[in-house]
Amino acid sequence: MALLELDGLTRRFGGIIAVDDVTMRVKAGEVRAVIGPNGAGKSTLFNLITGVVKPTTGAVRFDGEELTGLPPQRICQRGISRTFQLTALFPEMTARENARLAAQARHGRRWQPYGGGSVFADAERLGDAALERLGLTHVAQRPAGLLSHGDQRLLEVAMALAQGPRLLLLDEPTQGLSVEETEQAVATLAALLADGSMTVLLVEHDMEVVFRLARMITVLHRGAVIADGAPDVVKADAEVQKAYLGGLA
C-alpha cells in the first residue's frame, strides 16, 4: 500500500484551476520529484497535502488515513513535514533554537507550562540530531539570520527533519543558491537519503538536482499530470519534451 495517496485532487481559485484532478501514489522509501513550469500547480499541490488550503474536490490519504480538510498542525502531528520556497526561520534565534522549536511544535504537550521539561529535553535532542545529520552542528549557536543562504536552506530542512516525519516535502530546497552552495546542498541531501529510509516529495526547477536525487518523477502542466514514472521514461516522453520547449526548466 502507498504511504501517500492523492485521488482526483482538484483546487480551483475562482475560474482558475490550480490543481486539476491529480492522482498520485507515493510508496514508503520513495524519493519523488514533482516538476513543471511556473504556475503548474506544484506549490498548491504541497499546500493541499499539508492542509494549508483545502481541495475543491478529491482526497488526500496518508498511511490509509483520510487527511482531507485537517488543519496543518494536525497533519504535521501525523508525520508530514515540509520546507517552503521562501525560507521560514526565526532569524534572531540560534540554529539550535530553531531546530528545537520545530521538534517541540509536533509534540502533543508542546506548550504545557508545568511538567514539560521532558518535552523540552526531547525536542532539544531531536533538534541537535537533525542539525548533525544536515552538517550544521558547527553553526548551531549562531543566529539563523546570520547564516549563509545555503546554510539557512539546510537549516529549514533540519527543522522539518527534527519533527520526525514519515513524509518530507521539500519545496525548491536549492532556490537562490550559488553553484557551490547548490553542490553542497545536493551532496548533503543525497547522503541523507542514501539509505532509502525516508519518503520524500521534492519540488525543484534545477533538473540536474532532480535527476541526482529523485527515483520517480511526476510532471505537472497547467495543474494536471502529463507524465509519471522513472527519470528515463519521463525524459523520453513526447508531451514532456513539448512542455520543456514551452518553458519547463
User: Following DSSP, what letter does each residue of 92-115 receive, concatenated?
Assistant: TSBHHHHHHHHHHHHSTTTT-SSS
pLDDT tens-digit readout, 93-137: 999 999 999 998 776 555 554 445 577 888 999 999 999 999 999
Q: How far is CA 106 from the centre of its chain?
A: 16
Cell of 76: 504535521
Cell of 240: 514532456
Q: Across residues 9-27, what is the average pLDDT?
A: 96
Cα 160 to Cα 169: distance, rounded to the nearest angstrom: 9
Percent of the chain with pLDDT over 70: 93
Q: Could you tell me which residues come within 8 angstroms of residue 98 by beta carbon, excluding any fewer than 6 positions away?
A: 89, 90, 127, 144, 155, 159
Is residue 71 helix, strand or coil? Answer: coil
Of the candidates 187, 190, 238, 191, the one whose C-alpha atom is nearest the C-alpha of residue 214 is: 190
Is residue 237 helix, strand or coil? Answer: coil
Q: What is the pLDDT of residue 225?
A: 95
